[in-house]
Amino acid sequence: MNILKNELQELLKSQRLVIKPLLSNDQIGELTIDFRLGYNFLVTIQGKNPFLDASLNSNDQFPTQSLFQETRRMLGETFLLHPHQTILTNSLEYIKFPDNVYAELSMRSSYLRLGISLSALVQPGYTGCMSLELTNLNKVPINLTVGAPIFQARLYKLGESLNYFSKKRKYMCQVRPIVSSVAEDSDLKVLNAIWRQANYIDTKSP
Amino acid sequence: MEAKFLQLHFSQLQSEWATAKYNNYSDLRKREYHEKLSKIISLLEAEDISKFSPLEIKQRFYVVFFLFKSLEFLNNSTSSSMPFEIVAVLEEALNDWIPTRDYIIVTSLINNNIGFSYDTSLMLMDFIYKEIEILYGIKFEKRLIQINVPNSTARDYLASVVLYHELGHFIDRKFEISRVLYIEILSAILSGKLSAGEFNDIVKYFPYLANINLVKWFHANYFPGNKFENHIAEYLCDLFGSQYIGEYSNRYVSYLTCDEATDNVTHPSSINRSSFIMDFLTGNKKYLVEKYKQTVLLITKEEIKSRAESFKSEDFENFLPVDIDRPQQLHFLFAYGWKVWLDDWNKMRAYNNLNFDLTQEKVYSIINGLIEKSIGNFIVRTEWAKQASAIS
């Protein structure tokens, strides 16, 4: 069930929903909450490694981190998003969601029209700045302002509560963007073991 | 001095400048400083070094040295290399002592994981600024406060408590507090008017002053960098830092020095340093601490006192940043972070309903992140409120 403005304000008042900082109450809309572009960015660079490795099959592991470089801005400064570039950034706001509320994220209409895409889900109980993977689908660079409300969250209530910390989380309480921890996925380890066995490589786990 | 060597020196600078000239600073003050460096380099390039007299070569040597030193610190002072949050809090502390914003705190990231230090080079060579003004008509309204920070812990808000101590070195040099204390303490001993308790308190922290001949020697042979002068300065900077972060800097340093029980030429023993700070923090009116406090007040017109505004919070244990209301509370974030780190982390687990144990690496990351976000949010909210009210 979509949570509407009155209930959003109740959640904020009771501090079951935490948004720090909430610079303007106007961010709380009838159906959505607007969130702002943060000041930390991870951008891909031309590194020694030839590709972003989402597999454990390579003998040489290519750490994802080595292909990203961090850059920071101050509030009000800008960040130039190049055509077809994907960057990692996060929301200016640090949030804590109730255990029975999740959110769907999308760009605000004004930014969708510029050609930036975003599609993400925030789970119940999530705590931290929201991670944003922004891609410029346009053919021209887009200059973004740090602190501008660029995306929105539509919040939904579940019939029951879920414990976000019922299992170990790769991303928790993050305040800066973090590169993909895909190599830590347990499924990849299993798939790698299958591949190793099929190729008579060495049956020990990596 | 040969012109060819200056040409080599300047060529090295030009090579460095080829990259550094594109440095991009969020801080307007750094941009302005950088633009002045650019002007000086342009004027240097227009000069014919080969025709310089020995005196002119020497003058330019210092100018090139100044340019290199400035770049060494500015290069590592972009918001991407050193967290602006840490610098902002240090500037709040600086502002307690020097209200006018005549200084820019800059950092050089070094490859030594315990290499925190204050670089005195430009401060001790103030004549360079005057010489540049005479030679090129360029005046620097703001001076650099140069602090070396370990590259590996540049984003470590727990280790950053040490930076208050380093800022203390700048305040000491600026007001020459150690110089006065040097004479005051030795004169007090030589006067013969100290009580046994007062004398013992001095000897506790400067054991070698039990030797009256050494006292006389120090009295007759002041020079910056002698053991007694160094030790006075270190105690002063510990005292300065503890105003903001309590005992945590000294506890951390004690660990880094393996609770060193003996002194060396540059530093008193870690045990004595901790003890001295506790004399201050516990309010014991010990002679030496009181002497320091009186001297600092006399010279700077500012009081040595607890300057961090404490607050009660369990936000970090709840995985939340703290809402800071006043700048003085910013300093307490470091103490709060240390308190949580030194705790057993059970509260974190219980308050957040964790079904797994937190690793030390994860707790380290969470505490650092929450301190950073608490400071960042305060800066953002302050800036927003200032401009939003001006516009509406």
Dump pLDDT digits (tens) for A121-143: 999 999 999 999 999 999 999 99
The amino acid that residue B137 corresponds to is G
Average pLDDT over residues B361-376: 97
pLDDT band at B353 (very low <50, low <70, confident <90, very high): very high
Whether the per-residue pLDDT at A162 is higher than 60: the answer is: yes
Backbone angles phi, psi at B45, to 5 degrees: -65, -30
Closest-CA residue in chain A for B371? A175
**8 Å CB contact of B370 and A173:** yes
pLDDT band at A204 (very low <50, low <70, confident <90, very high): low
Dump pLDDT digits (tens) for A11-53: 999 999 999 999 999 999 999 999 999 999 999 887 777 778 8
Please state, in angstroms and rounded to a whole number, the distance separating the CA atoms of residues A8 and B346: 31
Whether the per-residue pLDDT at B124 is higher than 90: the answer is: no
Average pLDDT over residues B367-386: 97
Show which of residues 151-190 on chain A sit within 8 Å of chain B, judged by CB atoms.
163, 165-168, 172-176
pLDDT score for B307: 96
pLDDT score for A183: 80
End-to-end Cα distance, chain B: 63
Mutate to test the interface with A, among B76, B78, B319 (most CBs of A within 10 A): B319
Dump pLDDT digits (tens) for B133-175: 999 999 999 999 999 999 999 999 999 999 999 999 999 999 9
**8 Å CB contact of B323 and A168:** no
**8 Å CB contact of B356 and A173:** no
Distances (CA, A) of B246 to B162, B241, B279: 11, 7, 12
pLDDT score for A59: 58
Across A42-56, B268-282, B317-331, least confident range: A42-56
Using a CB-CB cut-off of 8 Å, the residues of chain B touching A20 are 320-321, 323, 373, 377
| Dihedral sign from CA coordinates of A51, A54, A60, A64 | positive
**8 Å CB contact of B379 and A75:** yes
pLDDT score for A153: 97
| Dihedral sign from CA coordinates of B297, B300, B302, B305 | negative
Backbone angles phi, psi at B265, to 5 degrees: -65, -35
What is this model's ipTM? 0.91
Using a CB-CB cut-off of 8 Å, the residues of chain A touching B84 are 72, 74
**8 Å CB contact of B373 and A94:** yes
Whether the per-residue pLDDT at B1 is higher than 70: the answer is: no
Backbone angles phi, psi at B130, to 5 degrees: -70, -40
Interface residues on B facing A, Cβ-Cβ cutoff 8 A: 26, 79-80, 84, 318-321, 323, 352-356, 362, 365-366, 369-370, 372-373, 376-377, 379-381, 383-384, 388
Whether the per-residue pLDDT at B238 is higher than 90: the answer is: yes
Across A53-62, A150-159, B28-37, B367-376, least confident range: A53-62
The β-bridge relationship of strands B103-110 and B143-150 is: parallel
Q: How far is CA B160 from the centre of its chain?
A: 10
Closest-CA residue in chain A for B353? A165
Q: How far is A198 from chain B (nearest CA, A)?
A: 35
Whether the per-residue pLDDT at A203 is higher than 70: the answer is: no
**DSSP secondary structure of B140-196:** -SSEEEEEEEEGGGTT-TTGGGHHHHHHHHHHHHHHTHHHHHHHHHHHHHHHT---H
Question: Could you say which of A24, A73, A96 has the minimum Cβ distance to residue B26?
Answer: A73
pLDDT score for B46: 95
Show which of residues 31-60 on chain A sit within 8 Å of chain B, judged by CB atoms.
39
Please state, in angstroms and rounded to a whole number, the distance separating the CA atoms of residues A92 and B260: 44
Please state, in angstroms and rounded to a whole number, the distance separating the CA atoms of residues A93 and A75: 13
pLDDT band at A54 (very low <50, low <70, confident <90, very high): confident
Task: Pull the structure tokens for residue B16.
Answer: 């460095």
Question: Could you say which of B79, B369, B380 has the minimum Cβ distance to residue A174?
Answer: B369
The mean predicted confidence, pLDDT, of chain B is 94
**8 Å CB contact of A167 and B356:** yes
Whether the per-residue pLDDT at A206 is higher than 70: the answer is: no
Please state, in angstroms and rounded to a whole number, the distance separating the CA atoms of residues B340 and B338: 5
Using a CB-CB cut-off of 8 Å, the residues of chain B touching A18 are 320
Please state, in angstroms and rounded to a whole number, the distance separating the CA atoms of residues B315 and A2: 29
**8 Å CB contact of A72 and B79:** yes
Using a CB-CB cut-off of 8 Å, the residues of chain A touching B319 are 96, 127-128, 172-173
pLDDT band at A169 (very low <50, low <70, confident <90, very high): confident
Question: Could you say which of B80, B354, B377 has the minimum Cβ distance to residue A71?
Answer: B80
Q: How far is CA B158 from the centre of its chain?
A: 15
Q: How far is CA A138 from the centre of its chain?
A: 21
Task: Pull the structure tokens for residue B350.
Answer: 């219980």
Whether the per-residue pLDDT at A84 is higher than 70: the answer is: yes
Contact B321, B85 (CB under 8 A): no
Dump pLDDT digits (tens) for B172-220: 999 999 999 999 999 999 999 999 999 999 999 999 999 999 999 999 9
Whether the per-residue pLDDT at B321 is higher than 90: the answer is: yes
Mutate to test the interface with B, among A20, A89, A96 (most CBs of B within 10 A): A20
pLDDT score for A60: 59
Please state, in angstroms and rounded to a whole number, the distance separating the CA atoms of residues A154 and A121: 10
Whether the per-residue pLDDT at A111 is higher than 70: the answer is: yes
Distances (CA, A) of B330 to B95, B226, B323, B326, B335: 13, 36, 10, 7, 10
pLDDT band at B87 (very low <50, low <70, confident <90, very high): very high
Task: Enumerate the H helices of B209-326 as residue ranges.
Answer: 212-220, 227-245, 248-256, 270-281, 287-300
Please state, in angstroms and rounded to a whole number, the distance separating the CA atoms of residues B142 and B102: 5
Count CB pairs under 8 A between chains A and B. Answer: 77
Residue identified by tokens 């008193």 is B268
Top-ranked range on mean pLDDT: pick from A47-51, A100-104, B115-119 = A100-104
Closest-CA residue in chain B for A168? B356
Contact A188, A56 (CB under 8 A): yes
Mutate to test the interface with B, among A37, A45, A99, A173 (most CBs of B within 10 A): A173
Q: How far is A123 from chain B (nearest CA, A)?
A: 15
Please state, in angstroms and rounded to a whole number, the distance separating the CA atoms of residues B135 and B133: 6
DSSP-derived letter for residue A183 is: G
Return the closest-CA partner of residue B238 out of B153, B296, B152, B285: B296
The amino acid that residue B123 corresponds to is M
Percent of chain B with pLDDT over 70: 99
